[in-house]
């Protein structure tokens, strides 16, 4: 790595979106010698989640709870992809990271936010992200907020277990539709913004990242059934049953209520709005749910 190159720091680099950003930057940046990529990894034992071909990536360990690791990761960074995990204290985390970013002369932040973060009164997860957005707005650093709708990957990461073991998705979402987005498309959008590919600039704006259609969980189950060749059912459970299930899995009480709040909004049809921003930035249609399931079909078997 050379000192004069600009450094893009990707936080959450082993996660759904972060790992894809690293992968996509690693392949696009090889032809763009102006940019170095730094991937901030939380648990060292998750490093193998980073794609093998990310050899031109500098890996650093960083824990938001250890300020010295945040400062070291931000050294010489000009552009920051900021991902924080849902927590009642996520604004505190952001405040510390942004103040450190200012000290290090960071010029541009792409923050992963959430669909509906600006809704009023909105829901708790959205309000927590909005608090972080405001900290960035007030920092004076240029930014873009990506507000994605629910990831298609949730069907694997959160509901895949019952799909595999019981051929069913159990959720309190009624027939409400969701404008699911493929996390790989969110990463592609972020990657373009981070390296300003072809002059891509959405500075000081929030963009909404969705797929091009909204589907109910019943419709998702039909698509998965078709691709796996097994009948997958969608069972519309009560909030109380969903609450019991999440608590039995050890989910914190506040998060249980926040997730239920989100499903309630889904049920009311408030998570179904689509936007054409992904297509506008990528110059192609967002991935469909069908093509997502095809790519991940082994995860449902
Ligand atoms: N899921 C959805 O449908 C959805 C939709 C819209 C927005 N969002 C938002 O997207 C974010 C989640 O994105 P994601 O799914 O890509 O996340 P993810 O896959 O859960 O990844 C989270 C990343 O954060 C790292 N991390 C955990 N604790 C950390 C710490 N103390 N310090 C530094 N890094 C830490 C994890 O590393 P380790 O694994 O090594 O701990 C991991 O790389 C949340 O802000 C959520 O609100 C989610």
In order of their start, the domains of the chain are 6-151+181-211+274-286 (3.40.50.720)
Q: How far is the CA of 150 from the centre of ligand 1 (A)?
A: 13
Contacts of 103 (CB under 8 A, 6+ apart): 71, 74
Comparing CA positions, the residue from 206, 212, 210 lying closest to residue 193 is: 206
pLDDT score, position 170: 98
CA distance 97 to 74: 9
pLDDT score, position 47: 81
Q: How far is the CA of 182 from the centre of ligand 1 (A)?
A: 15
Q: How far is the CA of 128 from the centre of ligand 1 (A)?
A: 14
In sequence order, the β-bridge partners of residue 108 are 79, 142
Give the DSSP letter of residue 271: B
pLDDT score, position 51: 74
Q: Where are the alpha helices (H) located in the chain, listed in sequence order?
A: 16-29, 67-74, 90-103, 124-139, 154-157, 160-166, 183-194, 217-228, 239-248, 253-267, 277-282, 289-295
In sequence order, the β-bridge partners of residue 58 are 38
Question: Which atom belonging to ligand 1 lies closest to the Cα atom of 64?
Answer: 32
For ligand 1, atom 44: residue with the closest CA: 85
Tokens standing for residue 180 = 């699911």
Cβ < 6 A, ligand 1 pocket: 12-18, 42-43, 46, 62-65, 83-86, 112, 114, 125, 148, 150-151, 154
Contacts of 301 (CB under 8 A, 6+ apart): 164, 228
For ligand 1, atom 15: residue with the closest CA: 16
For ligand 1, atom 23: residue with the closest CA: 12
Contact assessment for residue 300 and residue 156, using Cβ atoms and an 8 Å cutoff: yes
Comparing CA positions, the residue from 25, 45, 46, 47 lying closest to residue 36 is: 25
Query: Digits of tens for pLDDT over the chain (301 positions)?
Result: 444 678 999 999 999 999 999 999 988 866 655 789 999 999 988 887 787 766 779 999 999 999 999 999 999 999 999 999 999 999 999 999 999 999 999 999 999 999 999 999 999 999 999 999 999 999 999 999 999 999 999 999 999 999 999 999 999 999 999 999 999 999 999 999 999 877 778 999 999 999 999 999 999 999 999 999 999 999 999 999 999 999 999 999 999 999 999 999 999 999 999 999 999 999 999 999 999 999 999 999 9
> Which among 24, 85, 116 is the best mutation to test ligand 1's pocket, defined by most ligand atoms within 8 Å of the CB?
85
Q: Report pTM.
A: 0.96
pLDDT score, position 1: 45
pLDDT score, position 301: 95
Q: How far is the CA of 11 from the centre of ligand 1 (A)?
A: 9
Q: How far is the CA of 229 from the centre of ligand 1 (A)?
A: 32
Q: How far is the CA of 40 from the centre of ligand 1 (A)?
A: 12
Task: Name the CA dihedral angle for 173, 266, 293, 182, rounded to a multiple of 10 degrees.
Answer: -150
């Amino acid at each position: 790595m050379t000192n004069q190159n600009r450094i893009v720091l990707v936080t959450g680099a082993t996660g759904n979106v972060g790992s894809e950003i690293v992968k996509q930057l690693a392949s696009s940046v090889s032809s763009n010698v102006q940019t170095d990529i730094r991937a901030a990894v939380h648990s060292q034992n998750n490093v193998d989640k980073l794609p093998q071909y990310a050899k031109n990536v500098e890996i650093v360990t960083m824990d938001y709870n250890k300020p010295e690791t945040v400062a070291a990761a931000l050294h010489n960074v000009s552009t920051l992809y900021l991902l924080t995990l849902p927590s009642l204290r996520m604004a505190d985390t952001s405040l510390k990271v942004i103040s450190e970013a200012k000290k290090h002369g960071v010029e541009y932040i792409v923050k992963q936010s959430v669909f509906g973060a600006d809704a009023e009164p909105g829901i708790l997860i959205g309000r927590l992200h909005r608090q972080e957005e405001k900290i960035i707005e007030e920092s004076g650093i240029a930014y873009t907020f990506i507000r994605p709708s629910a990831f298609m990957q949730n069907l694997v990461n959160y509901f895949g277990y019952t799909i595999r073991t019981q051929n069913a998705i159990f959720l309190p979402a009624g027939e409400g539709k969701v404008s699911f987005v493929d996390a790989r498309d969110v990463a592609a959008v972020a990657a373009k913004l981070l390296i300003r590919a072809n002059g891509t600039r959405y500075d000081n704006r929030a963009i909404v990242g969705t797929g091009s259609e909204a589907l109910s969980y019943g419709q998702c189950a039909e698509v998965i059934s078709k691709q796996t060749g097994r009948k997958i059912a969608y069972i519309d459970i009560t909030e109380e049953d969903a609450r019991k299930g999440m608590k039995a899995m050890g989910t914190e009480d506040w998060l249980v209520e926040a997730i239920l709040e989100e499903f309630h909004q889904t049920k009311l049809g408030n998570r179904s709005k689509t936007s054409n921003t992904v297509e506008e930035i990528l110059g192609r249609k967002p991935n469909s749910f069908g093509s997502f399931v095809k790519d991940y079909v082994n995860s449902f078997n």
